[in-house]
Structure 1
């Protein structure tokens, strides 16, 4: 940009950062407002319509935003792959628009570690998000199912935060649950993939300091929602397709390390997940294609 505009790189950088700050200040309250109780219900309905997981109000995940040689950073920014980064933790709706984001934690921290110290965790634990307290009654169970967030194996299992069953505990019913859970969680993977393809800054390590990387990322999140809500939602809602994660191009955005140490779950959280697994296995909660997809590489389903 410096050549066509006859400006120094320093001046261009300063103007870009100023523009990103304006984008964040103006669009943040418009594109990332805290949902109302009625809006949470609408998000859950979309998860039911698009992803066949009607209890979800968001899909949670984190990504490393790669940096190039941040000054005076020591080892705090170096992640498990050995390069410096900051972490973007985000909650997405069913249409792959971001609901809540927390960007800027050190790259060395895992998914669960970032979540535990994030603004998202604080808002959930302190019940500041106006999430409806109503629960679902499902056939064949006396368990009350609340509205919940879905995450991967790294996160803690809580009544409001579900994760898949561990691989060593799987049977037919749990395999079905894991498929339905992982399929719905791809909403946030698609959000990251779409954003990284739309903005080339995420396709290679950012040559800026961490505070500027955070500002660039926050501005991109706002623009992602702004564009997506006006260009239309591109998620294929057909129940007969196998959903593929939109892979990122380049090294600018990478997944966080997966570990299964999300902490000890409560009996309530375990019972809720078991209740959902039961529901997905009975006619009222199943979908016609699930057995074909889940057991397509298995000679016969595992016994219960």
Structure 2
């Protein structure tokens, strides 16, 4: 067969993998499944309010941008890329994905214009709410997605406290938040380790890069759910993370400024912070040691 014919069959296979496996491996969770995901976040990462962790990556392309696309694909690194936005569960399997936005879009804009943002904002994912006791007072704290500084603070999407405002309780919240959020970083790391093509720029056009990435995402879930789940709930470091991930995947940049969050969103984060610092609530034995060991180490450095 000619090289052109082989290439055509390969991309047809990518499409078939997505069409067949996406309804099985990337179907939006039901309400009962969201509860199970939250229970896993509580059991593994001591964050019982989380139903997902969100992050995004620039996927580098070693190919000229399409004709007449101008600089739309050129990211802050100075080369063409597409953006993969994803939400993972507590076991580093992908729940929601949005792949293919222009690399040039600001990282805050990538989330704002993504399908994931739209579904969360419009409440179309059937994410439940529940009640938890904090200081013997019943407060309603909704389940939420956790993200890093690149994302806005919403009632359904929590981010860490800013570094310049940290006190003891906020440091503990950030530590607990980070443990839950790293599940999506691990998902990207496992993806890049399993499919080494993501450790270097993809030598394909953007539309084919989307097909390839989507096929890898559903295969990631398919393999991970059958090969077993390698997690260490007490680990202070991430597992199976490919450091730097070669030159193929780069993180989003945190925005230098953003809109002011709503009072309700800040109150929800404060309630979770209170829960994590309450001896009668959700404290864990090692949180003070780990948090302040890192603080002292940073001050020495």
The question of 1:38 aligning with 2:6 is answered no
Match of 1:76 among 72, 89, 94: 72
Question: Which residue number corresponds to residue 94 of structure 2?
Answer: 98
Q: CA deviation at 1:23?
A: 0.1
Distance 1:177 1:194 in 2: 26
The question of 1:61 aligning with 2:55 is answered yes
Distance 1:249 1:299 in 2: 29
Please list, as runs of the form range in 1=range in 2, the aligned pairs for 1:144-223 lying within 5 A after superposition.
Answer: 144-223=140-219
RMSD of the alignment, in Å?
A: 1.6
Deviation string, structure 1 residues 36-65 (Cα, Å, up to 9, x no partner): 100000000000011110000000000011
The question of 1:286 aligning with 2:272 is answered no
The question of 1:113 aligning with 2:75 is answered no
Deviation string, structure 1 residues 25-45 (Cα, Å, up to 9, x no partner): 000000001101000000000
Q: CA deviation at 1:111?
A: 3.1
Deviation string, structure 1 residues 173-201 (Cα, Å, up to 9, x no partner): 00000111011100000000000111122
Distance 1:22 1:198 in 2: 20
Stretches of structure 1 lacking an aligned partner (at least 5 in a row): 1-6
Deviation string, structure 1 residues 216-258 (Cα, Å, up to 9, x no partner): 0000000000000000111222x2x312361243211111112
Distance 2:156 2:120 in 1: 8
CA separation of 1:277 and 1:128: change in aligned 2, threshold 3 A: same
Aligned to 1:101, what secondary structure does the other structure show? strand
CA separation of 1:235 and 1:110: change in aligned 2, threshold 3 A: farther
Distance 1:223 1:28 in 2: 9
Aligned to 1:296, what secondary structure does the other structure show? helix
Aligned to 1:134, what secondary structure does the other structure show? strand
Aligned to 2:29, what secondary structure does the other structure show? coil
CA separation of 1:125 and 1:223: change in aligned 2, threshold 3 A: same
Match of 2:252 among 256, 270, 276: 256
Question: Which residue number corresponds to residue 275 of structure 1?
Answer: 271
The ranges of structure 1 where at least 4 consecutive aligned residues each deviate by more than 6 angstroms after the TM superposition are none
Aligned to 1:83, what secondary structure does the other structure show? coil
The question of 1:136 aligning with 2:132 is answered yes
Question: Which residue number corresponds to residue 3 of structure 1?
Answer: none
Question: Which residue number corresponds to residue 49 of structure 1?
Answer: 43
Distance 1:268 1:140 in 2: 21
Aligned to 1:196, what secondary structure does the other structure show? helix
Deviation string, structure 1 residues 120-140 (Cα, Å, up to 9, x no partner): 111111111111133433236
Q: CA deviation at 1:263?
A: 2.2
